[in-house]
Amino acid sequence: MKRLTTEQRRKELAAIATMPEDQIQTSDIPELTLEQLRRGVRGQMYRPIKKPVTMRLDADVIEWLKRDGPGYQTKANRLLRAEMLRSYRGVAQGRVSRPRGNKKPKSSRVLGESTVHQAR
């Protein structure tokens, strides 16, 4: 099958968009059952755009990320995404996160070469 150019695809989609629904041929597309719709997962095929960034991370954090071999950037992204989604859920449930700035926490303890801050 020949690949369409972007312009050809645009024209084809525009033509389909103007057609009445009863004239669109869908016999080769079976209807989804209620069970299939219930098992569906929203956003499973979603792949956000990646942007290169430069970050300064603690050496022990980088060592930990790289410990399992290749894929440390994916691991870091997965951890950050999980925290971002957790934060969004907190806001949606009415919890407001504390502002994070240059303020020092009330207490901390030293663990190896890094400082671990205890929750207030």
Flag whether 64 is in a domain.
yes
Query: Would you state the pLDDT for residue 115?
Result: 47
Q: What secondary structure does DSSP assign to 36-95, as a single string?
A: HHHH--TTTT--PPP--------HHHHHHHHTT-S-HHHHHHHHHHHHHHHHHHHHHTT-
Flag whether 70 is in a domain.
yes
Query: Would you state the pLDDT for residue 118?
Result: 45
Query: DSSP character for 27?
Result: T
Query: Would you state the pLDDT for residue 113?
Result: 47
Mean pLDDT by 10 residues, the chain (120 residues): 89 93 87 90 84 96 96 95 92 66 51 46
Flag whether 41 is in a domain.
no
CA atoms within 13 A on the CB side of 97: 13
Query: Would you state the pLDDT for residue 40?
Result: 86
Query: Would you state the pLDDT for residue 93?
Result: 77
Query: Would you state the pLDDT for residue 102?
Result: 54
CA distances from 9 to 55, 74, 89, 118 (A): 40, 33, 38, 56
Domain total for the chain? 1
Flag whether 117 is in a domain.
no
Query: Would you state the pLDDT for residue 18?
Result: 94
Flag whether 119 is in a domain.
no
Flag whether 82 is in a domain.
yes
Query: Would you state the pLDDT for residue 103?
Result: 55
Domain that holds residue 72: 48-96
Residue 59's φ and ψ, nearest 5 degrees, are -60, -40
Flag whether 22 is in a domain.
no
